[in-house]
Structure 1
Amino acid sequence: MKAFERLGIGILSISLLAFSFQTASAEPITVVSWGGSYGKAQDRALFTDASNHSGIAINRESGASMTKTCLQVQSGSVTWDLVVTGSGGAAAAAADGCLEKIDYSVVDVSDFYPGLYTDYCVGSDVFATVMAWNTDKYGEPGSPGAPSSWADFWDVKKFPGTRAYRANNVDGALEPALMADGVPPEKVYEVLATPEGKRRAINKIRELKPHIAVFWGSGAQQAQLMKDAEVDMSTGWNGRFDNAKKDGAKVGYTFNQALLDYDCFAMPKGAPNKEVAMRFLAEVSKPQYQANLPFYITYGPTNRKAYEMTKAPKELIESLPSHPKNVPLMLPVSLDWYAKHKNEALELYMELMSE
């Protein structure tokens, strides 16, 4: 019996050694995210440690885009293995047949919050699209007279000054316009599901366009605009503005009427290293990595165990968009709307951009 045990242990050891060698010696997978403080936060909290612990080497690239992902798939020249994207972008790309299904026999999401993963995307962090402003000009959040709603963002008489808004991507662009036009948050996607609702949102942005000094194209640009005081108000992502504030920017924002959303990992259809990339996705989704993310950018974990493991102070945890006191203030993004309507809405938005 002991001989069989020794034989079994020997075989197991050889198998593990072979597996480790195979993993460590495999071609690096290509993981594509964004740049700026978000990309640095992912590198520090997620990618470096997950790569070291799994033995899976990665090539990190910036410039993540579902449009580029779909172009690779349609051309038959896929070079990316995992792509970071917003949940709405993933929903639209999946509907267009551009993504692989996630293998949940490999990726464990049993401790994820409901709704933060789909058949085609695994949530990496929770963020909010907010309205931010120069606090020297309009006051600190919550102070008398400070902006507090999308109607205030559009009100250039009460809050004179320049604005910045999203360029060339409809994600998070139409919902604020409808709320500014008086549509209750709970009715926004119902209205946007109609042709009239989409045109109403576009026309509301057209109304503001003379006051939009910059259409931003990235999170890094949002932050820089506020750091340089190039604009007085901007839409954008809460974590980018928090990091800009750490760097000295006079910027504040509100979660009121913000869009509650999540970033996720998606895999292009035909990814060259599908099996290895799926194993890396399983590793990077573990709570010990997500628990470190708030130290580098104020985005919340998607894995509930990360909250139990994090050593972040209470004040930092309460500043995350996923904290229970903040969630009721916001409008959760509708993936169903993005899957069905994003392409049509984007055409209208791009027409507006070209005017």
Structure 2
Amino acid sequence: MKRRTFVGAATALTGASFLPGFANAQSKEIRMIESGGASGESIQKGYIDPLKAKTGINVVRESPSSLGKLRALVESGQTGTTLFELGSGVVLQAKKLGLIEKLDWAAINPAPMFPEAKNEYGFGYQYFSTIMAWRKGAKEPKNFTEFFDTKAFPGKRCLPDYPHYCLPFAVQAAGVPIDKLFPLDVDLAFKKLNEIKKDVAVWWKAGAQPPQLMKDNEVQYSICWSGRVVGDPAFGLNFAGGKADLSFICVVKGSKPEDKAAANKLFYEMSLPENQAKAAEVISYTGPSPTLDALLPKDKLWQFPTSKQNKDVQYFENAEWWADNGEAVNKKWEAFKLSL
């Protein structure tokens, strides 16, 4: 990729990065690997377009992202990709593997953000939720105890084929409150899943499956990502007990100083609530500004993971616990799946 840099603009731009030997130098174009789809389009509209309009810096997007792809990039010694999107749990793995760099938060100088979004190794740019949903007309559960009660709420279920998206809800169904979920009682979770497994028609791997299965009336209840069902009149949903999580943008290990200086400009744009509101027009996920609610359509606040009414009733993903215990839990998960 052909690159050009320009000199002298950094002092005039908010959040400039001043690095020894590269003062006032930043790239005119950098590359990012993100998760794709509407999420990627929200990055373009909300953050890249404003960045380019203000500074002339362009960000070229590619997708999809995965830990394996990041590892291959770093191990190959490439310096062409600067930014990489990772889930909260994967950020910790990437850090331990030495695949990402610390962010220079002083250089970014962001607008106010929720504290969990200011990770030492990543910018938490997009909240998303995993919640309960049901086919319209089905009896409506108010919590996961009711969701797992197939006698009182009859119908087939569709659950995630991922332990970190499934086990905490099973623990809730057993009566554990959301502020006491971690450390996770894994045995209790599997006990609850064994009680309901005969009513689980599909264990999904792709996020598009639950809404389609509900529309086709193959299942009546699902645990799914909120962005797949909110705003669709075919579904009912409830954020109560849901899992709020963050997607992070990280800096690839070995990135050039002038590329990191340009990346800091993008991070600053990502911190602005007015830009986060633009991104939320594309997908019903939200950025990390505490003042974002005031800029979102009042009649659509119920759709967004970080609106106060939803954030207050969810638990936040415990990435540290999963990083420490995920391998052992995955082995138990595979054994459980063999019993189905």
* Global fold match (TM > 0.5): yes
CA deviation vs aligned residue, 1:223-244 (integer Å, no higher than 9, x gap): 444444442211122222115x
CA deviation vs aligned residue, 1:260-290 (integer Å, no higher than 9, x gap): 2222212333357544434433333333311
Match of 2:8, SS? helix
How does the TM-score come out when normalised to structure 2?
A: 0.79
Match of 1:292, SS? helix
Q: How does 1:148-159 map to 2 (within 5 A)?
A: 148-159=142-153
Question: 1:8 maps to which residue?
Answer: none
Runs of 4+ in 1 over 6 A off after TM superposition: none
Seen in structure 2, the aligned counterparts of structure 1 residues 270 and 41 have a Cα distance that, compared at 3 Å, is: same
Question: 1:29 maps to which residue?
Answer: 31
CA contact (8 A) 2:33 2:65 kept: no
Structure 2 residue corresponding to 1:345, chosen from 329, 333, 336: 329
Correspondence 1:284 to 2:270 = yes
Question: 1:142 maps to which residue?
Answer: none
Unpaired stretches in structure 2, ≥5 consecutive residues: 1-5, 14-24
Aligned sequence identity (%): 27
Which has a greater percent of helix?
1
Q: How does 1:299-310 map to 2 (within 5 A)?
A: 299-307=285-293, 310=295
Seen in structure 2, the aligned counterparts of structure 1 residues 300 and 222 have a Cα distance that, compared at 3 Å, is: same
Seen in structure 2, the aligned counterparts of structure 1 residues 15 and 63 have a Cα distance that, compared at 3 Å, is: closer
Match of 2:164, SS? coil
Correspondence 1:315 to 2:316 = no
CA deviation vs aligned residue, 1:95-117 (integer Å, no higher than 9, x gap): 44332211212323351122222
Question: 1:57 maps to which residue?
Answer: 58
Give how far 1:322 is off.
2.1
C-alpha distance in structure 1 between counterparts of 2:100 and 2:250, whole Å: 7
Question: 2:21 maps to which residue?
Answer: none
CA deviation vs aligned residue, 1:300-330 (integer Å, no higher than 9, x gap): 330235445x2x3222235433222333322
Correspondence 1:262 to 2:262 = no
Give how far 1:148 is off.
1.5
Question: 1:9 maps to which residue?
Answer: none
Seen in structure 2, the aligned counterparts of structure 1 residues 233 and 322 have a Cα distance that, compared at 3 Å, is: same
C-alpha distance in structure 2 between counterparts of 1:78 and 1:353, whole Å: 41
Seen in structure 2, the aligned counterparts of structure 1 residues 95 and 154 have a Cα distance that, compared at 3 Å, is: farther
User: Which residue identity is paired with 1:183?
Assistant: V
User: Which residue identity is paired with 1:199?
Assistant: D
CA contact (8 A) 1:129 1:236 kept: yes
C-alpha distance in structure 2 between counterparts of 1:325 and 1:282, whole Å: 27
Give how far 1:222 is off.
3.9
Seen in structure 2, the aligned counterparts of structure 1 residues 331 and 289 have a Cα distance that, compared at 3 Å, is: same
CA contact (8 A) 1:92 1:342 kept: no
CA contact (8 A) 2:95 2:121 kept: yes
Match of 1:219, SS? coil
Q: How does 1:56-205 map to 2 (within 5 A)?
A: 56-70=57-71, 72-73=73-74, 80-138=81-139, 146-167=140-161, 169-190=162-183, 192=184, 197-205=185-193
User: Which residue identity is paired with 1:290?
Assistant: Q
Seen in structure 2, the aligned counterparts of structure 1 residues 173 and 89 have a Cα distance that, compared at 3 Å, is: farther
C-alpha distance in structure 1 between counterparts of 2:321 and 2:337, whole Å: 22
C-alpha distance in structure 2 between counterparts of 1:66 and 1:52, whole Å: 32
CA deviation vs aligned residue, 1:51-96 (integer Å, no higher than 9, x gap): 4444333332333233543454456568753233332332343344
Match of 1:45, SS? helix
User: Which residue identity is paired with 1:175?
Assistant: P
Match of 1:160, SS? coil
CA contact (8 A) 1:50 1:289 kept: no
Seen in structure 2, the aligned counterparts of structure 1 residues 76 and 212 have a Cα distance that, compared at 3 Å, is: farther
Match of 1:172, SS? helix
CA contact (8 A) 1:301 1:307 kept: no
Give how far 1:187 is off.
1.8
Size of the aligned set, in residue pairs, is 322
